[in-house]
Amino acid sequence: MRRIMHLFLCLVLLILNLIFIGSAFAGEQGHYAPAPMALRDYVMPPKGFYLIGYDTYYHADKMKDSSGNTFDSVSVPGSWRGTVKSVPITITGTLNANLDFSIHSAMQTLAFAWSTDKKILGADYGFMVIPSWGYTSVNVAVQGTASGTIKVGSHSRDFSMGEEVKIKGQQWGLGDLIVQPLWLDWRGKRHDVAFSYAVTLPTGAYDKDKVANVGMGFFSQRLQAATYFYPFENKTTAFMFTPTYEWNSKKIDTDIQPGQTMTIEYGVSQYVHPRVEIGLTGYNQWQITDDSGSVATNKTKNTISGVGAQIVYWAIKDKCSLTAKVSQEYAGKDRLEGLFESLNFVWVF
């Protein structure tokens, strides 16, 4: 076990050291979102087959600039370009313009997880397949002090002085598919040490010219290392620390490759009743390498942090649980900042 723990610590240090690797341009976001998952979801459950559902709603109407200030106006000496949730926006003219952004996303994700009786390197082995589907809408409004043009995706509108122009896009459809073929867990009386590798496939509805997309239009790979410490042998209290490293492919039909992303998650979970668990969570996520490609526009790596709380209730003990969780984003830079709400369930077969 000491050798395994040593290897695990080396892996964590390697992941953290990747923070300092960098390249050219920024602004895109990766696939990995830490907010929906419950505190103890990163550790492999006991042997069996599990169905885990995540019903998540995300709303954001604050666009943060590279300094972390709310970005709601722009001075355009000729042409301004930017992105909102990977949607390119261009404003032309000689004017000052007020801008409003908002995004709404409701997604249902199902995780089919199998914790097997196989062992790899002394660890329990499992895997997951995670399809999703849902709805996304993006709204952009501009009001200028003179005439100009706004283009969002392939949608272009002219506007005159004082006129407010709104462009909205929405889409229903399948989301991108996550496959996690490697999930290892070294269990102890007072700890769990988990490691996983997953790939996200661009199976979701995506069109580079649309204002809103459910899918993101590129492949992602990620490595994740989760550690849990239990002060008591009954494991009613758990402290969690999980680093995740993600890297992405070039987007479909677009010459841009989103930069690599690092996420650190942490939290504490406490059972206050055999069927009731409460918890506090937090995370920090930042882009650590620049976007690349001829259409990469932003020149600042995006960052975001979040803090949240959850409550878990086992409606049928050891069979069915329900989780309510909320996470508020803060300290965003070069991206939208909003609120995650999720209602999750687990069914044990």
Our CA dihedral for 50, 51, 57, 62, rounded to 10 degrees, sits at 40
Identify the pLDDT of residue 304.
93
Query: What pLDDT, in 10s, does the model give residues 10-23?
Result: 444 443 333 333 33
Q: What pLDDT sits at residue 53? A: 92
| Res 70 pLDDT > 90 | no
Higher pLDDT, 61 or 86: 61
**Structure tokens, 112:** 């089919």
pLDDT winner (highest mean) among 113-117, 214-218, 253-257: 113-117
**pLDDT value of residue 14:** 40
The one-character DSSP state at 214 is S
Q: Looking at residue 296, what is its pLDDT?
A: 67
Mean pLDDT computed over 237-254: 92
* Gap between the Cα atoms of 27 and 25, Å rounded: 7
Q: Please give the model's pTM, rounded to 2 decimal places.
A: 0.83
**Distance separating alpha carbons of residues 56 and 58, to the nearest angstrom:** 7
- Specify the pLDDT at position 63: 82
Q: Which residue has the higher pLDDT, 143 or 128?
A: 128
8 membership: H or E segment, kind and range:
helix 2-17
Mean pLDDT of the chain: 84
Q: Are 92 and 82 in contact (CB under 8 A)?
A: no
SS3 339: strand
Residue 94 pLDDT class (50, 70, 90 cuts): low
Ordered by where they begin, the domains of the chain are 2-348 (2.40.160.40)
pLDDT at 142: 84
Instruction: Tell me: pLDDT of 321 over 80.
Output: yes
> Who has greater pLDDT, 283 or 89?
283
Res 130: pLDDT: 95
Residue 69: pLDDT band (50, 70, 90) is confident
Which one-letter DSSP state was computed for residue 20?
G
pLDDT, average across residues 89-113: 84
Query: 149-203, pLDDT tens digit by residue?
Result: 888 777 788 888 878 888 888 899 999 999 999 999 999 989 999 999 999 999 9
